[in-house]
Structure 1
Amino acid sequence: MKILVTGAAGFIGYFVSKSLLDKGHTVIGLDNINDYYDVDLKYDRLKQLGIAPKEAEIFEKEVHSKNHPGFSFVRMALEDREGLPQLFERHAFDKVCNLAAQAGVRYSLENPEAYIDSNLVGFLNILECCRNYKVKHLVYASSSSVYGLNEKIPFETTDSVDHPVSLYAATKKSNELMAHAYSHLYGFKSTGLRFFTVYGPWGRPDMAMFLFTDAIMNNKPLKVFNSGKLERDFTYIDDITEGVVRILETPTNENEPKKDLYKVYNIGNSKSVKLMDFITAIEESLQQTAQKQMLPMQPGDVEKTWANVDDLIQDFDYRPNTPIKLGVQRFIDWYKSYYKELAK
């Protein structure tokens, strides 16, 4: 298939692109490479896919990979109402995997406009292009943050998600509603994936795994919010990637009833881990002790996440299952190797 992967220079987008290429698909990667976090990390991910940083810097120029014949990259924002339709017209995508978004719960308190531009305006442009250029299936990133103040554990996709506690969460819930409307009106399949705290090699520097490892290794205070009384369904990147790719590769049924065109799934490890246990796993792997700085609860945060993935198992015979200790060790191995190379 020919598949558009947006957010291809991002954490999940990089791994999904690589997996699809390894399976023989043609992938066009799109990313605006914004400076929400270190752009060098984004360029280095693209470098793994055969795209040189200097080539990736140029907006709207399609660059072909040097070591993956099936991959090309375009630097473009989802908000580009002229460039995006031209890209869809040029390539006639079979499927679209929309992983591009302005990420981060806490940053949405500081820069709300970025979330409206990318997550709402940009997502509308994706939906319009899918409608106008006959895309068979749109798979897009939602988030566990949509559950907000939901107190029922574990979280199920049938739960009410009407009480978001951050603008980021509100935009992700909006994406699900927008996709539902477009699937109903225009008859194309859409699948939303509520990711639960993804971690692993090449991860984002603003996420817990990266922040904790960096603090411990460099003998800096480690910020522990809500005095450590938090629990997260930490999900390893390989499990997330396998789930996304399995859904993308599932054949679409052109005669599928309208009510079945729209789906939402949780993708999580289906296990809630105490934050302090997660920190302990990092300490044990590094053989160092963290200098913990206990802080109050952050605005927009929630105390506990835990995914029920029964729907994922039933429909795709797939359950994420990487143990925390193994995932943590793999991240730390990558972290040491990556920053050792940068130090040369």
Structure 2
Amino acid sequence: MIPIVLPPNVIEHFYRGGSRLAQLRGFEPDSAFLPEEWLAATVHREGHPNSGQSRLFDGSLFSDLVAADPLGWLGNSEGGPAGKTDTGILVKLLDADQRLPVHVHPDRPFAAHHLHHCYGKTEAWYVLAADAPESAVWLGFSEDVDPAELATAVDAQDSDWMLARLNRIDVTPGDGILVPAGTAHAIGAGVFVVEVQEPTDFSIVLEWSVTTAGRDESHLGLGLPLALQVVNHRATTPAMLRDLVTRPDDDPDTTSRPLLPTDADPFFRMEEISTHGGTVGAAAGFSVLVVLDGAGTLSSPEGSLDVTRGQVLAVPAAFGDWSVSGAVRIVRVRAGLETPTAVTS
């Protein structure tokens, strides 16, 4: 088996964006609300079963390809704890032309108990571009927040109250940011990222008034009182933030480097591979590749494939240990080191 190139899988969403995403992926957007592409996705959007899953160039679902050969694709004949198409990750390109709403995601125990799913939604961002005055992200509360006061602010849609209590982080290309489940967060206008997360679409939207969504779409059908139990109301301190953010390595000769803090490893792994005209090796395993710059060749005993800027590829486990040569820069995303327990009821 060799890797496959995937066509664009752009998602219409409730916030504006998508121009840089379209430029990278080589398509002409027909809406101002196409800010996300889901890459090698085998899951669908919450509440939208016909949206999210990736397709091949012939229109068939990538998930059907994985289901037909989970051993070849995932290295396990049973797939993952969520089934034969469970890759362990959901990867996106996210290109925001407006500030995203303040929102939060459930952790695995909450998801298992209330949403009947083994995965929560810890996520992380690798910043590709940050070119607007509001090129920042907001991550965690700067001080402890009273749950009743937060509930009042959410009910009143008091954006100023929420943003004033969140840590604002100015970002630049190359930054990696881990967002633990339960941590309130938002992405600012002008920020373009590769996002990796656990393979669900579970979001509790605290600030729906800045989007085209409404209150009824904000709480996953749980009702706001229960949904707000997801939120971590404790402060994310400066010391904690330092552990959640990585800055780019200035060494121009680096060929392979992790892009996220080590606390991300249980959930997912993301690295940048830069060949600098040489050859760089990579270990076997299912992965999603985004070719950011240049051109090169992926090779293993199974075969080879030429790649170029703007392509997205799914690499099967059966490709084995592989290498990339040429003059190319690639982001590689893989599942984490800890697999959740399947939910059986």
Scaled to the shorter chain, the TM-score interval is under 0.3
TM-score by length of 1: 0.25
TM-score by length of 2: 0.25
Question: Which is richer in helix?
Answer: 1
Question: Which is richer in strand?
Answer: 2
Relative contact order (C-alpha < 8 Å, sep 6+): which is higher?
Answer: 2
